[in-house]
Amino acid sequence: MELGRWMKDLTTAGRQTWMRMEWKTIKLSDCKCPPDPPKLETNVWTEITSPNYPQVYCPNMNCQYFLTAPAGYQIIMNFTNFDTEAFEDRLAIFKGRNVTQKHQELYHGRIYFNSLLRFDNDTVTLLFVSDYSNQRSGFRILASCEPMYDNGFSSTHFIFSGMFLIMVLLASLGAVMFVNRHRLLPSRFFRNPVYIPTVVYSEGYQADEPTARVY
């Protein structure tokens, strides 16, 4: 039995129409879910692919990939290729082994990834599901792991947190220096002469208009 998809090339010249049709076949023996990858290691990238990759994957597939890393490490992924039928053939990513919970990520269609994906967990499950039609090349992932800090922050989060803390300290130091500097300046920089009109009386005489005293 042959499975696959038609590829059509239509060329029209005058009243004549030429059609080239190509049938890409898939062996039934290739319609199997790949085995689970080995336990991930640091500085070692493990390849994970859709069934029959780089050829088109099979219809009606339901494959689970369990990824595990050493305790205290988190899983990182590098998607080098992703091309599935939009909305119908999907790759869902779950934390842990429970695929009945809400997925953390869901991908379908043609996607280009420009950065690594990080999951702050030492166990991740990938679930790939395809329907009966329009198979494509699928996906290829390189997976590895990296240390995860005690409070759940990855190394990247730790770096950004440290930079933010340094910026706060510098801002606080600048504020203290500003206050101390202005404390040393003469008081005339902070207090302008104020002219307060007052009425001055002398014995037996009352001024017609008030005079001004300078304080």
Q: Residues 105-136: pLDDT tens digits?
A: 999 999 999 999 999 999 999 999 999 999 99
List the one residue out of 10, 30, 29, 12 whose CA is nearest residue 21. Answer: 10
Residue bearing the bigger pLDDT, 164 or 199: 164
Distance CA 48, CA 50 (A): 7
Tokens, residue 182: 């202005």
Token duo for residue 175: 């504020």
Helix (H, G, I), strand (E, B), or coil: what is residue 188? helix
Give the confidence band of 11 by pLDDT, cuts at 50, 70, 90. very low
What integer pLDDT is reported at residue 172 of this predicted model?
Answer: 85
- The superfamily CATH assigns to domain 25-148 is Spermadhesin, CUB domain (2.60.120.290)
Domain boundaries, the chain: 25-148, 156-214
Nearest CA to 22 out of 34, 37, 9, 7 is that of 7
Taking alpha carbons only, the member of 126, 125, 115, 117 closest to residue 144 is: 117
State residue 181's pLDDT score.
72
pLDDT of 1 > 50? The answer is no
Tokens linked to 74: 């988190």
Model confidence at 4, pLDDT cuts 50, 70, 90, reads very low
3: its two tokens? 């499975």
Q: Which carries the bigger pLDDT value, residue 8 or residue 38?
A: 38
Report residue 167's pLDDT band, with 50, 70 and 90 as the boundaries: confident
Q: Would strands 105-107 and 123-129 be described as parallel, antiparallel, or unpaired? A: unpaired
Mean pLDDT of 183-205: 55
Return mean pLDDT, the chain.
Answer: 80
Nearest 10 degrees: CA dihedral of 153, 155, 157, 158? Answer: 90
What span, in angstroms and rounded, lies between the C-alpha atoms of 74 and 106? 19
What is the model's pTM? 0.60
Residue 29: name the closest of 3, 47, 66 by CA.
3
